[in-house]
Amino acid sequence: MVNRTALITGGAAGLGKKTAIHLAEKGYNLAINYRTSNREAESLADYISSAFGTKIILAQGDVSVREDCEAVVSRVLGELPSIDILIHNAGPFIHDRKRMTDYSFDEWNAIVAGNLSSAFYLSKLLLPQMRENGWGRIIALGFDRVETAPGWIYRSAFAAAKTGLASLTRTIALEEASNGITANMVCPGDITAEWKEKGIDEAARSKGANAPVGRNGTGEDIARVIGFLADEKSDFITGSIIPITGGLDVLGKIQRIE
């Protein structure tokens, strides 16, 4: 494999961490972006360096801020020749259930900037180099059925931002196809906090499955698909929005007014 570098936003914990470990196993260099999770990021870097010997760079920054995105890219390119794969995992989310009119202006702007504008900032910064190299991968994270522009009760800001991100991802796929660059979206199902950093074998041994397939979803399920999309031979897959839900109707499960 050509020695590629993957930048993972929000990569210090959860799905981002599991993806980082999976890509390290495959031999990719890694740039892990984080906002406040210093201890988790340093622990992950120590583990990956000792376990796999791959190059890993930590790049602190809030990707909802353009200047921070510029600083993150500059930090990585100061030590590595290119960023070949962008995995836009960071996605701020307000857990409180609230109607659209109950969002403050600042809350709305933070959710949209963190989920949508951040992808624009980083893609704009990275695409010119990807074009020059004739190769690149952009992989965003969404939610089940995002491509249908569904309503999501009490999650208006997040749903609107991710729906916009789905359209942006497909637009990039069309605009950059001739440049050897693919853009796809991976949509995790109902993977709860403790399972984001766990593996498939552990899920197979557990009880209380939340999906029709009979086990819980894990970070490994997501990381394996991201790794597949990043592969050299996955160039025919672009503009795709891929649900990874174990057959669970995620939105149907939560569309309740209480």
Q: What is the pLDDT of residue 226?
A: 98
Domain that holds residue 187: 5-254
Q: What is the pLDDT of residue 202?
A: 92
CATH of residue 12's domain is 3.40.50.720
Tokens of 225: 């698909």
Q: How many structural domains does the chain have?
A: 1
Q: What is the pLDDT of residue 207?
A: 72
pLDDT tens digit sequence for 100-128 = 999 999 999 999 999 999 999 999 999 99
Closest CA to 20 of 28, 242, 195: 28
Percent over 70 (pLDDT), the chain: 97
Strand order in the sheet with 85-88: 56-60, 29-34, 5-8, 85-88, 136-141, 181-188, 241-244
pLDDT tens digit sequence for 228-246 = 999 999 999 999 999 999 9
Mean pLDDT of 217-227: 97
Lowest mean pLDDT among 98-102, 146-150, 219-223, 245-249: 245-249
pLDDT of 254 over the 90 cut: no
* Cβ atoms 34, 12 nearer than 8 A: yes
